């Protein structure tokens, strides 16, 4: 866990200092200035209106607690030496905190733990390549999507696997709690590789699915990468932006991208803080702030 505070710094240095600080976190000076100006304008508007009880509790605490990942280049990556987090999602979390005038505290989460920590109140929001689905929206609120990615599969070149058809009867590694296994099975059905007679998207379970392809679930991405190298699995399936960091020499993506993945800020169901986050994301999409952050972090 790593606390990052810029509130006092902003009070002393103003807009120029804030631009420099955001640049250090992965943004350009120009995007930093735009982001800070946007946050400042939003904060002024927020101060003139009464905050909801959930949001006010965060302000009173003085800290926004955010769940992020620590090994997804471009989205959220933690420097092992400094402990600093850098990426699109870290910048968005910092901007939400700046809007509220509070510090931000990052907690590293995985696909399996992020929902649990949100439910327990250990964190206020999740910005961790959290794909928006109708099923998940029953449990948590999501903001308007700030990024859209696609699922693919990474393989060792030595296996000769090139496409979806080559994955038939193979074992594929996925992250516990993710939607990747279901997305891959649906893509194989759509491609005609599997007949799909026993597939039900609502009841699909990666642990029990054995019809034409099977899965092993792991707690984190490095573990899947290690399993791929060891031959325990023949494919590593997740969002392509996550796979990019593990695409080393001798590995390739299969010739398929499927299941668009829209990432949003996840918050507690029915929280007034959900509305605030959605309004901020919509504003940053409209004024080009998020577009610039995507470019600054090499995600365009």
Domains identified in the chain and CATH numbers: 2-146+264-296 (3.40.190.10), 149-261 (3.40.190.10)
DSSP helix/strand/coil, 215: strand
Question: How many Å apart are CA 212 and CA 199, to the nearest integer?
Answer: 11
b/e sequence 79-110, b meaning 16+ C-beta within 10 Å: eeeeebbbbbbbbbbbbbbbbbebbbbbbbbb
* 144 burial level (CB within 10 Å; 0-12, 13-18, 19+): middle
| Predicted structure pTM score | 0.70
Predicted local distance difference test score (pLDDT) of residue 49: 58
Each residue's pLDDT tens digit, 43-70? 444 443 589 999 999 999 999 999 999 9
Residues of the chain with pLDDT under 70: 1-49
Question: What percent of the chain lies above the pLDDT cut of 90?
Answer: 77
Predicted local distance difference test score (pLDDT) of residue 300: 83
C-beta atoms surrounding 26 within 10 Å: 21
Beta-strand relationship, 2-4 and 85-86: unpaired
- DSSP labels, 82-141: T--EESHHHHHHHHHHHHHT-EEEEEE--TTTHHHHHHHTS-SEE-SS-B--TTGGGTEE
Predicted local distance difference test score (pLDDT) of residue 241: 85
Predicted local distance difference test score (pLDDT) of residue 151: 96
């Amino acid at each position: 866990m790593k606390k990052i505070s810029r509130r006092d710094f902003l009070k002393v240095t103003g807009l120029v200092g804030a631009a420099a600080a955001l640049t250090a976190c992965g943004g350009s000076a120009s995007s930093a200035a735009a982001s800070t100006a946007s946050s400042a304008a939003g904060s002024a508007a927020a101060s003139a209106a009464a905050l909801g009880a959930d949001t006010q509790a965060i302000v009173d605490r003085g800290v926004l607690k955010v769940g992020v990942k620590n090994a997804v280049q471009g989205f959220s990556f933690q420097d092992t030496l400094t402990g600093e987090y850098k990426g699109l999602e870290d910048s968005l979390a910092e901007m939400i905190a700046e809007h509220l005038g509070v510090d931000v505290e990052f907690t590293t989460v995985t696909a399996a733990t992020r929902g649990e920590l949100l439910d327990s109140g250990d964190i206020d929001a999740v910005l961790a390549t959290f794909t928006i689905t109708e099923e998940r929206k029953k449990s948590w609120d999501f903001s308007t999507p700030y990024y859209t990615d696609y699922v693919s599969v990474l393989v060792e070149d030595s296996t000769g696997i090139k496409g979806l058809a080559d994955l038939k009867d193979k074992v594929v590694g996925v992250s516990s709690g993710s939607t990747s296994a279901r997305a891959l099975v649906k893509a194989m059905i759509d491609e005609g590789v599997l007949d799909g007679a026993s597939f039900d998207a609502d009841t699909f379970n990666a642990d029990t699915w054995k019809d034409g392809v099977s899965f092993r679930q792991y707690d984190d991405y490095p573990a899947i990468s290690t399993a791929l190298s060891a031959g325990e699995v023949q494919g590593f399936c997740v969002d392509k932006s996550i796979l990019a960091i593990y695409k080393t020499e001798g590995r390739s993506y299969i010739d398929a991208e499927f299941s668009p993945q829209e990432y949003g800020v996840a918050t507690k169901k029915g929280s007034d803080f959900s509305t605030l986050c959605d309004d901020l994301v919509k504003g940053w999409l409209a004024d080009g702030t998020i577009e610039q952050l995507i470019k600054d972090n090499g995600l365009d």
